[in-house]
């Protein structure tokens, strides 16, 4: 029998929280297949990411569709970087535990802050729904065909099988929506983004801190 404190069964609480924790904290592990973000069934939850500064090489961006296990579809813009260094990373996801009398709980992950090395990622893929930042691109090409995109992160990307089947060879990576843009280098400051998935071939998080906060919104979420 699980222990009960204040009428909260903590094993049940853990079962509810673990999926959200895994979805957020998984960025702290080395992922062998850089195509993971685009090829697996997403949870359906959005999460927020804030960074003070991001510098990435071999930047590319193209459209595709993320699909939940239940079949729900979400159009996203995939941002790809062969290498990226990220200063003061914050990532947060909210889980509603009202059924347990706990209300909303925000899991927040921080790394690469003051006194720590910047977060470093190789073959970084981010499935975005919204992005705000001050951006500078070096040698940018806007409107190119997705089939001409280069870079390790982009070449390693594969779509969800249902997307691949629906779009056939409409652009490279297979499953892309044709229109794309790329740059030799991208520098973004004051980043605020809402995403569906993130993956990397390697993710190094210096000064990692993961915490649970009661409630959602400003002060609990990253923004």
What pLDDT was estimated at residue 187? 98
Chunked mean pLDDT (size 10), the chain, 223 residues: 45 42 37 43 89 97 89 91 97 94 95 96 94 97 88 85 68 60 97 94 94 94 96
pTM: 0.80
Residue by residue, DSSP assigns 56-98 as EEEEEEEEEEEEBTTS-EEEEEEEEEEEEEEESEEEEEEEE-G
The DSSP element (H or E) to which 17 belongs, if any, is helix 10-25
What pLDDT was estimated at residue 140? 96
DSSP state letter for 36: H
Question: Smallest Cα–Cα separation from 212: which of 109, 141, 120?
Answer: 109
What pLDDT was estimated at residue 85? 98
Residue by residue, DSSP assigns 96-165 as E-GGGT--EEEEEEEES-TTSPPEEEEEEEEEEEEEEEEEEEES-EEEEEGGG--SHHHHT----HHHHH
What pLDDT was estimated at residue 119? 96
* Three-state DSSP state, 33: coil
Question: Smallest Cα–Cα separation from 41: which of 174, 201, 196?
Answer: 196
What pLDDT was estimated at residue 147? 79
Record the tokens describing residue 165, joined without a space: 């089947």
What pLDDT was estimated at residue 113? 96
What pLDDT was estimated at residue 176? 55
Greatest Cα pair distance, the chain, in angstroms, is: 62
Determine the Cα–Cα distance for residues 185 and 197; give it in Å rounded to an integer: 22
What's the pLDDT tens digit per position in 194-210?
Answer: 999 998 999 999 999 99
What pLDDT was estimated at residue 158? 80
What's the pLDDT tens digit per position in 179-197?
Answer: 899 999 999 999 999 999 9
- Give phi and psi for 12, each to the nearest 5: -65, -40
Record the tokens describing residue 202, joined without a space: 């390697």
């Amino acid at each position: 029998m699980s222990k009960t404190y204040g009428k909260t069964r903590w094993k049940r609480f853990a079962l509810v929280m673990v999926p959200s924790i895994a979805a957020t904290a998984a960025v702290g592990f080395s992922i062998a297949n850089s195509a993971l973000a685009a090829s697996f069934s997403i949870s359906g939850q959005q999460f927020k990411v804030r960074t003070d500064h991001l510098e990435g090489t071999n930047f590319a961006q193209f459209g595709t569709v993320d699909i939940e296990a239940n079949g729900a579809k979400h159009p996203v813009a995939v941002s790809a970087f062969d290498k990226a260094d990220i200063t003061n990373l914050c990532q947060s996801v909210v889980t509603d535990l009202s059924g347990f009398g706990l209300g909303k709980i925000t899991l927040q992950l921080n790394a690469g802050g003051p006194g720590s090395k910047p977060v470093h990622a190789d073959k970084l893929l981010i499935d975005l729904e919204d992005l705000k930042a001050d951006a500078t691109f070096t040698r940018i090409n806007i409107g190119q065909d997705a089939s001409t995109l280069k870079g390790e992160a982009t070449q390693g990307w594969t779509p969800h099988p249902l997307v691949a089947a629906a779009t056939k060879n409409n652009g490279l990576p297979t499953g892309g929506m044709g229109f794309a843009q790329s740059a030799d280098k991208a520098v973004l400051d004051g980043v605020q983004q809402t995403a569906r998935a993130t993956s990397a071939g390697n993710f190094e998080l210096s000064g990692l801190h993961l915490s649970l906060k009661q409630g959602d919104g400003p002060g609990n979420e990253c923004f």
